[in-house]
Amino acid sequence: MFSKEESRQLRELFWTSYGKSFPRKWLLYNTKIKDLSLKFQADRKTALVCIDIENEDEYDRLEQFEKFESLKSILETEYLPEVIYDDDYYLEKSGKSICRIYVKHTEKFSIHNKDTWRAAYEFFNKHMDLLETFFIEYKDFIEIKS
């Protein structure tokens, strides 16, 4: 077991090492679409790349998610065959429900185990590149017009 401080330091080292190993400016929160972001996630058991739709208004959140659902076959066949769509993804830390479209790293992983980091970094780099490319290609369609 790690203390909170040791765990924090390992998480910080994990992300700074990733940035040094694979330097790139990712789109992430800069999607230009309110409450929609691309994210990396890593914890003690899983590593994911995601598109999160976090609009507080459930109707708007689900409308945005439906646009992604209409592109699901394209995303699966041309970019990420293993993509998972979840219209009610629960965030434990905040207690919020969001819509999440994500790909999960399938190899054994823990942010506390440095031996698993390299495979996670390669997963992040490959899958976020594909997710970002898809997003950029279909951004105009995905964006909700008010």
pTM for the full model? 0.92
Helix, strand, or coil (residue 92): coil
| Predicted confidence band of residue 144 (pLDDT cuts 50, 70, 90) | low
120-138 tens-digit pLDDT = 999 999 999 999 999 999 9
Quick check: 136 and 71 in contact, CB under 8 A? no
Residue 146 clears pLDDT 60, i.e. is over it:
no
Packing angle of the helix pair 117-142, 4-21 (nearest 10 deg)? 70
Residue 145 clears pLDDT 70, i.e. is over it:
no
- H/E stretch holding 40: strand 36-42
